[in-house]
Structure 1
Amino acid sequence: MSAEIPTPGPGANVKAERMKRGWLQDYLAARAGMSKSLLGKIERAQRPLTQGMGAALANAFGIPLDELLGSAPPPAGAEDFLKELRGVMRRFDLPTDEPVHVEHLEHDLVELFSLRGDANLAAVTKALPGLLKRVQNYAHQSGLPEDWARVADVYSAVYWLAARHRWMAMAELAVMKQQQAAERSNALARAVAARDEAGTFLNGGDFAGGLAVVDQAVVQAEATMRGRARYLALGLLHLRGLTLAGRLEDKNTVQRHVKGARRAAAQFDADVDVQGIHFGPENTIIHIIATNVDMKQNADALDEGERYLRGDFTLPATRIGPLHMNLARAKLALKDRDGAVDSLADAWKVAPQMARVHPTSQELGRVLISLHKRSNPKVTALAKKAGIPL
């Protein structure tokens, strides 16, 4: 099980894992294929641990990336809801005969996906157990593909919640059940399930494995799907592939997925929201910005990000919060510490619950607080929000 981190900063776990094994920095650096100087900066909170570097270090330790990053604690008072949620997931094929009012179901689904868009992790956690139980019961009663699509959609939300906290046992179980529901549903649900399956590879640091899942799903979608659903499926898959390739710093594969995502996005005048899943021109830009930072193209990321934020953007907090985190990464890499603090503060303002648990936010906070100490009141405020002692 992933180690829970008492204060934000996945990079802090690197030294703990190294010391636990009795390894010297030279030995770990050599195993991870990085310089001792870089490793030392990560351990001393002078350089943020990126997902790519984290994957190399996790591989050197022989553990999954999510274990190195550490799992985030559940929202306050959520333990009972999570226990109930696990029970509902286990009883996927054991429905009850409780009556389900479909009109209430539709309303509650809309509310769930709105809460997800707002990055309200606590409310999503509270809503999921009862809603998942009802959509499963109703799908068993009707047997209709569209009702199984609802089940797959809710399991995608379970995956999203679990992945945000790096609860990978729950995330992987959610994807397994999502795939089972999708097989009884339609091709779009199967494509989304493949995207989320690739996400578990991303969370675990197996970027190449995730790309293989994406490529297989792209071939399947191209061969079997038509119309709007085809472009939505391909777009979502290419965005996942883009992220995975960026973590590998594989320029050619990045460009292949950028082209695929842009081709699909060109079919939509504006971003669409299908059961909490966003795709279109804006979300494509957001993913390209994040990948530019992974590829160390930080100036390009800042230019694109600032241009986007000056426009009339429509994406919800669950996308805009990480955008600010990635702009903070780019600014820090370009030695604009004050700008990085401002962007991280924006991420906390837009999506505070996500900022508290997201590894990028945690790591940026750890490094910026270490670099600024008590010299910047904005950093002091961030430290108080994140629970990091000064």
Structure 2
Amino acid sequence: MSAIIEVPGPGASVAVLRKERGWGQERLAAAAGISKSLLGKIERGERPMTQGVAASIAQAIGVTLDELLGKAPVHEGDEARLLDLTRAIRRFGLPRDPEMTETDLITSLQQMVTLRERADLRGVMAKLPQLVSAATNHAHAAGTPDAWARVAEAYSTVYWLAARHRWMTLADLATTKQKLAAEQADPVTAAIAVRDEAGLYLNHGDFEDGLAVVDSGLVRVERDAPTGAERLYALGILHLRGLTLAGRLRDRRTADRHIAKAWGLAEKLGQDVNRLGIHFGPQDTAVHVVATSADLGRHEDAIDTMNDLERLKKKGKLTLPTTRTSPLHMNVARSKLALGDREGALEELEEAWSLAPQMANVHPTAQELLRVLTSLHKRSNPRLTKLAKRARIQF
């Protein structure tokens, strides 16, 4: 295996886009605010491109972040479902007669949460068009806050699916409709909508604007949310989004402020709570801290936090779903790779793939880690070869 290999991954697009513009590395590095050395390592596959650096490069080159990272393709057979989903979203204000009873709708929503927590992207895609339509039609007929909360829940899942694939036009539509539905629901549903709206800015690479959305949402929760566990949850999910955004900006002070707030709220809550497929509590806070520690270059801290979660796992007390644990292992792999532990990074990446193969196949962090690991290994590695085949990479 050679030291430099052409392997698909977000970082592999940088040199192509740079050369299309006739730019040298020095010009792009200066425009993106990074060192020429780092840019060279990213292009050669010696360092993974983080999403924070990717946002800076995309802005410098003049492309969107999803263009640089690469949109995941629509699977064969899902084209019709995607068209049906878009049509259902478009009919938000044109209700038809309800096609599900309230009981059936609640059951369908719970099934969707289960699919989401398993990171079953294909399963979510298959059920979403009917669910969005049914939830919307029922809400127009019932007109209750609970009914509109279910619409918001359905659209939160649309946003989640779109963001995973970097289908940002669909993500934009979903968060717009989610916000409209949440305004007719309850304060916690509204907080989830704000969280997803800030996530939209995160996915676009507009981290400062995302933080502004979070701050505005926190003010609303402080004003409107009830006391008790619901208030802790609503504040907590927003602080988690805030620490992620600040980490991508490498704004340590803001990240640490959100981290401290999130830990404090999680400790008061005492356990992880799941609402609409979105978790908050001590364990989910730890997952977010691992990712943000990696973004901030605090790799030892990321691994220490992961070790705490591993101890819970050994005791059978880790309750997080696959959709949270798979990215967790990706982020630990980032930190291990940064510390020179390639075998450890490969082990974590293997675990991420084992837990959620559909997610790993489209996740830019998983793609970048695999690109870099294959580029750095100068000798054949059967485990790496096997993983590359799962990702359909030839080398």
Distance 1:355 1:215 in 2: 31
Letter in 2 for 1:192: I
The alpha carbon displacement at 1:98 in A equals 4.2
Q: CA deviation at 1:146?
A: 0.5
Query: In the superposition, relative to structure 1, how do residues 149 and 359 fare at CA in structure 2: closer, same or farther (>3 Å)?
Result: same
Higher mean alpha-carbon deviation, 81-90 vs 19-28, is at 19-28
Partner of 1:301: 302
1:291 aligns with 2:296: no
Equivalent residue for 2:35? 35
State the match for 1:319 in structure 2: 324
AA in 1 matched with 2:42: I
Q: Does 1:172 align with 2:179?
A: no
> How much does 1:374 deviate?
5.0
Matched, 1:357 2:358: no
Structure 1's unaligned 5+ residue stretches are 1-5
Structure 2 contact 243–259 (Cα < 8 Å) conserved: yes
- The answer as to whether partners of 2:112 and 2:127 remain within 8 angstroms in 1 is yes
Percent identity of paired positions between Structure 1 and Structure 2: 53
> Counterpart in 1 of 2:347?
342
Q: What's the counterpart of residue 54 of structure 2?
A: 54
How far is the alpha carbon of 1:265 from its aligned partner?
Answer: 1.1
Distance 2:199 2:157 in 1: 13
Deviation at 1:63, TM superposition (A): 2.1
* Counterpart check, 1:77 vs 2:77: yes
Answering whether residue 311 of structure 2 is matched by residue 310 of structure 1, we say yes
Q: What amino acid does structure 2 have at the position aligned with 1:320?
A: T
- Check the 8 A contact 2:247/2:296 in 1, yes or no: yes
Alignment of 1:147-158 (within 5 A): 147-158=147-158
Residues 1:99 and 1:357: Cα distance change in structure 2 (over 3 Å): closer
Partners of 1:211 and 1:245 within 8 A in 2:
yes
C-alpha distance in 1 between matches for 2:45 and 2:334: 14
1:118 matched residue in structure 2? 118
- Output one character per residue of 1:161-213: Cα deviation in whole Å (capped at 9) or x when no partner: 00000000000100000000011111111111111111111111111110000
Distance between the aligned counterparts of 1:117 and 1:252, measured in 2? 32
How many residues in Structure 1 have an aligned counterpart in Structure 2?
A: 385
Contact 2:198–2:210 under 8 Å retained in 1 = yes
SS in 2 for 1:273: strand
How far apart, in 1, do the equivalents of 2:368 and 2:188 lie? 35
What letter corresponds to residue 106 of structure 1 in structure 2? I
Q: C-alpha root-mean-square deviation of aligned residues, in Å?
A: 1.3
Pairing of 1:1-390 with structure 2 (within 5 A): 8-227=8-227, 228-311=229-312, 312-390=317-395
Q: Match for 1:173: what amino acid?
A: L
TM-score of the pair, normalised by structure 1: 0.96
Inter-CA distance 341–236: structure 2 relative to 1 (3 Å threshold): same
Counterpart in the other structure of 2:3 = none
Q: What displacement does 1:287 show?
A: 0.4
1:363-387 Cα offsets, whole Å, 9 max, x none, are 0011111111552111101110111
Tell me: CA distance 1:381–1:105, structure 2 relative to 1, closer, same or farther (3 Å).
Answer: same
Q: Please say if residues 164 and 354 of structure 1, whose CA atoms lie closer than 8 Å, have aligned partners that are also in contact.
A: yes
**Structure 2 portions without partners, runs of 5+:** 1-5
TM-score (norm 2): 0.95
Instruction: Give the Cα–Cα distance (whole angstroms) in 2 for the partners of residues 32 and 253 of structure 1.
Output: 22
Contact 1:8–1:386 under 8 Å retained in 2: no
